A and B are shown apart, each in its own frame.
Chain A
Amino acid sequence: MNAVSLAVAAIRARPLQSALCVLSATLGSALLVLIFLLSQTIASGFLRNAEGIDIVAGAKSSPLQLVLSSVYHADVPAGNIEMSDYLALQKNRHVRQAIPLALGDNYQGWRMVGSTPDYLQLYQAEFAQGRVFEHPFEAVVGAATGMKMGESFAARHGFAADSDDIHDAYLYTVSGVLKPTGTVLDRLIVTSVESVQTLHSGHHHGDHDAHEEDDHDHEAHDHDDHDHDTKGHDAHDHDAHDDDAAEEALGHQVTAVLIKTRSPIDRMNLPREINQSSNLLAAVPSLEMARLTKSLGIGKTLILALGAGFIALSALILLASLASSLAARRYDLAVLRVLGASPGKLLLTVLAEGVLLSGVGTVIGLGIGHGVGYIAALNIDTLQGIVLPSTFLQVHVLDGVFLILGLMIGVIASLIPAISAARTDIAALLAKG
């Protein structure tokens, strides 16, 4: 019977204490790995979604709102811009590529994006079935929508799935289904800009009450720096007629333009040029997301501190548990010494006990952290299209680091009890009986 099997025997002899040690190590490691995985995958998801987009131009609002609504489709756009603005940007000598976006409709909660086939190429999308939209009111659907080839549907105005404002004058038909891309494209329905514009030309409301319940209610978002005087669209005007006018304006407008510049210098200078010389707002996605990540970092730090606290607590619980366990079985250990075990063997036995408890707890915690992350990525809407659920099921270098950390904590917590066990004065202990 070696040190490890003796340690296992000791662990099994006190199941409640052992379970508590394992549980505390599990909680700490699960929390830490979950936070690290989330922050890593969200950061890489932000990058992946904004890849190839240097600048976003749209109606005057907050830069973050513009980026969130146009790149990540996670916020409501503040307004629209004229087609002429888009065409001017397209011709700008600093612009390599300008991709228009016409937003404002949904089908069953999946946002519709009027754009060009370049938008699909931006995400290197591949077709699982069908082809790109070629004719009016053809649409390409993302993998997460679950929509089928040839399916016909009527778009609803706004971003709420239960909007009563149904554009049933024209029906869209699914011409292509995309393979999963791990980007926001997975949960979008993409059609041509012209289709969206046609749909909104001559748009009439039969039911204003219903329209008031529409998700295009800008009161829902609370950006302090929201510009209320956006061009062609009063974002906070709840008058149904104005909203009608704005919606009809989309018949000759677009919502935003995704821009790829010709050079890094252009990427630095063009936003300033746009912001100073036009009524448009230009935002740099990487800068805005860096700002957002920095502000979220405070929360991350708090949760990390909580995770570290759990780890420290687990070390203390382990230390207390081993110390009390050793006090209770000092005589048993003395018997082992009398039977021929060296002090080194006792030291190794107690160390193995601590390492086993913290190691098992850490491994279970890593599994739980990955599992919870995976379930969260599948079920939290705001994470969809930003994080890839499958990345939570992969083993990362980070797991190795956390496992080593867990084992080290086991060693550190059990070192004092182990040394104490090895240095026990056996003769004095036996004399006490």
Chain B
Amino acid sequence: MILTSKSIVVRRGDAPSLHFPDLSISPGAQLLLLGPSGSGKTTLLSVLAGLLPPSEGDVLLEQQNFYAQSSVARDSIRGKTFGFIFQTLHLLPSLTLSQNVMLAADMAKVDVEPGRLEDLLAKLGLADKANRKPAALSQGEQQRVAIARAVLLRPKLLIADEPTSALDDANTEAVVTLLQDQAAETGAALMIATHDARLLDRFDTVVTLMTKGGPVS
């Protein structure tokens, strides 16, 4: 297993406790984390990514207790092991497309193999736009840049948080296909957290979160 979570509970301030289902994600698995707004999807992703220590429970990353590591070590492991895609893409406006993609390697302090960036941009149809700034790209192109940034280092787990909520059916289909293809190509497990029920039939494994830490199916 790449990632296992057990008995995760998160308590933050006066908010009700969030109880999450146990997860076991194997290499190459594709998982949909479905739940309405406020159900704690992003909170669970933060816990799994080492950004938010759970109040109770454990996260095992490749059989090691993730939260036994120091904060700095978790940052480093996260950069090398996880790939993230957000609903709002958050590309840095003053950087070029290729610089934005390379941020993943720069922040994780990892050298990228020669030709990796060029190959990736070519596969995503961005090769001729490598030196453009995000403002000069279409929304679809920006989404592909965000995906390129997430898969650059061939992460073991690709996590997408609400990647399709603002997209129409055609674009939703295109983005999910792209994510699944990229995950398959890099051998990464894929977990998409969403409230978008349109994605249900694209995944064999679905974990549903109920509102406010309610029961889980």
Contacts and interface: CB of A to CB of B under 8 A. Distances in A.
Contact of A341 (B52, B75, B86): B75
A16 interface: no
Interface in A304-342: 331-332, 334-342
B84 A338 contact: yes
Interface string A1-44: 11000000110110000000000000000000000000000000
B22 to A, nearest CB: 20
A336 B46 contact: no
Nearest to B165: A433
Contact of A340 (B45, B75, B92, B162): B75
Contact of B103 (A331, A334, A339): A339
Interface residues of B, number: 37
Contacts of B51: 337-338, 426-427, 430
Contacts of B78: 338, 340
Interface string A333-359: 011111111111100000000000000
Given A426-B51, A427-B51, A430-B46, A339 B107 contact: yes
Contacts of A12: 94
B123 interface: no
B94 A341 contact: no
Interface of B is mostly: helix
A431 interface: yes
B186 interface: no
Contacts of A13: 92-94
A342 B73 CA distance: 9
Interface residues of A, number: 26
B170 interface: no
A1 B103 contact: yes
A336 B161 contact: no
Contacts of B49: 338
Interface string A225-266: 000000000000000000000000000000000000000000
Interface string B27-70: 00000000000000011011101011000000000000000000
A17 B130 CA distance: 28
A334 B86 CA distance: 11
Nearest to B80: A340
B80 A332 contact: no
A427 B84 contact: no
Contact of B45 (A2, A341, A428, A430): A430
A157 B91 CA distance: 77
Nearest to A9: B94
B64 to A, nearest CB: 17
Contact of A342 (B42, B43, B72, B84): B72
A233 B99 CA distance: 83
B88 A433 contact: yes
B205 to A, nearest CB: 23
A430 B80 contact: no
Contacts of A332: 90, 92
B84 A339 contact: yes
Q: Which among A9, A339, A433 has the highest number of chain B CB atoms within 10 Å?
A: A339
Interface string A413-431: 0000000000000111011
B108 A431 contact: no
A341 B42 contact: no
B97 interface: no
B209 to A, nearest CB: 13
B131 interface: no
Contacts of A334: 90
A378 to B, nearest CB: 42
Interface string A157-201: 000000000000000000000000000000000000000000000
A431 B90 contact: no
A339 B104 contact: yes
Nearest to B90: A335
B9 to A, nearest CB: 15
Given A13-B92, A332-B90, A426 B46 contact: yes
Contacts of B88: 331, 433
A14 to B, nearest CB: 9
A10 B99 CA distance: 13
Nearest to A14: B94
Given A13-B92, A433-B162, 6 more contacts: A9-B94, A331-B88, A338-B78, A427-B46, A430-B42, A430-B86
29 contacts: A1-B106, A9-B92, A9-B99, A13-B93, A331-B88, A335-B86, A335-B90, A338-B49, A338-B51, A338-B82, A338-B84, A339-B103, A339-B108, A340-B75, A340-B76, A340-B109, A341-B75, A342-B75, A342-B76, A426-B46, A426-B51, A427-B47, A430-B42, A430-B45, A430-B46, A430-B86, A431-B43, A431-B46, A433-B87
Q: Ordered nearest first, which 9 A-B pairs have the shortest CB separation?
A: A340-B79, A427-B46, A427-B52, A340-B108, A13-B94, A1-B106, A339-B107, A340-B107, A9-B94
